[in-house]
Amino acid sequence: MLQLWHASSRYRYIPCNRDYLNESQLRRIQNELAVVGALVVLALVTVQPLVVMSQTADSLQARFAETIAMVHQAESAGATPSEIGALVALLNKALELNGEALKLTAPDEAQRRAELVAQVDQILMTVENRAADLTALASQRSYANRVLAYVCGVIAAVLGTILYAFTMSFYRKYRIKRTFQMRVTRK
Amino acid sequence: MSFISTQNRRTLIVVFITLLVVCEMIAYVATTPRPREQFFQLYVLGAKRMAADYYPNNDTDIRLGEPVTWYLGVADNMGTVQLVSIRVKIGNQTIKPPDDQQGLESPAPVVTEFIRFLNDNETWETPFVWSISDAVLSGSATRIPVLQINNETYLIQDCSASNGHNFRLIFELWTWQTETNGFEFGWAAGGEHRVAWLQVWFNMTSPRLA
């Protein structure tokens, strides 16, 4: 017999058809629901370690993605290849440790795996911090270099103009001097 | 400035503005990074790190347990740090290779992959020592179920070739895409999608009987 139930309140059930349940049937259904609930709780507790492991791997991938983005920001800000190279070396170390952690699948290696994952996390945090510092430093340096270059351009233009003015002045004086040194001769 | 006439003053202003424009243009060019071609290089070298001697005794027929030494290399010329993955796949003559035009990967099974961060202008090279741990002859087809690469064992599913001829190892270059947060076959440069892949053929004509 298929029973469809609507729960309009916590204690009041209205059956969809005209077949009503007696108390013993209700009690049996309650017992069955209690057993199902207990099984669901038990399953969730049992599966929890697997879920945690999966979240760890996912969160690490997300962390790698965040770290790459931060390193790219540092590069865009104008960090030098040697500065970025140090970050890349750390990232490769993190990759290596992550690879080692992924190989540890046996239950007795769980602790070692957790240690490696923690190390990877620590390295990624270090890289993120350094990348953030580099971004700030490199952007300031790039801005200063750009301003310096433009100021040098203005100074060069001023110096060039002064040089031009003096050159023209000397040239005119030379021409005047030469003009007064001219002699008029009869042909 | 009384010694400068009005006409000379105008000339000096024109000279100053001209010099200012030229100098500022030079400053702009000096401080702006020049766009350059973005690309990766992927290569496989033989045992002597040259594009030769890919097979022991120059025999393309690889025996069971016989180690084959190659060197895999990838160079980053993208102008930025890149996370790359070289995916190693094994296939036979009939399986599709990667599609250069469509930028599609090969459907061959992945055996392993090498992941590495590369700095701009960096070349990374790693030894690739592999051997066939097991090969089974069933009917006229030779199947390779186990492959050993860099002292690690890899189980392979569904890789067989008729009479053990024309197996191939395919190397595909995958790159991390920050937009999608995942690896993609090839890379995007200049509004185009480009791919890099290689394949090396070999035979396995001395399997054990099933």
What's the average pLDDT block by block, 10 residues per block, for chain A (187 residues)? Answer: 37 46 73 74 49 45 86 93 94 92 88 92 94 95 94 95 92 91 84
- Could you tell me which residue, A20 or B176, shows the higher pLDDT? B176
Cross-chain CB nearest to B81 (options A84, A99, A168)? A84
| Cβ–Cβ under 8 Å, residues A98 and A60 | yes
User: Taking chain A, what is the end-to-end CA distance rounded to the nearest angstrom?
Assistant: 141
CA distance A76 to B207: 54
Q: What is the pLDDT of residue A14?
A: 42
Checking if the pLDDT of B27 tops 80, the result is yes
Residues 128-157 of A with CB under 8 A from B: 142, 145-146, 149-150, 152-154, 156-157
Helix (H, G, I), strand (E, B) or coil at B179: coil
For the segment B95-104, the average pLDDT, to the nearest whole number, is: 92
Checking if the pLDDT of B81 tops 90, the result is yes
Q: What is the pLDDT of residue B210?
A: 65
Q: What is the pLDDT of residue A49?
A: 39
Whether the full predicted model's pTM is greater than 0.95, yes or no, is no
CA distance A187 to B77: 77
Measured between beta carbons, which residues in chain B are less than 8 angstroms from residue A90? none
CB contact under 8 A, B120 and A71: no
> Tokens for B97?
């290779």
Q: Report the DSSP beta bridge partners of residue A150.
A: none
Distance from CA of B168 to the nearest CA of A (A): 26
CA distance B197 to B105: 9
Report the residue of chain A nearest B152, measured CA to CA.
A103
User: Taking chain B, what is the end-to-end CA distance rounded to the nearest angstrom?
Assistant: 104
Write the ipTM.
0.85
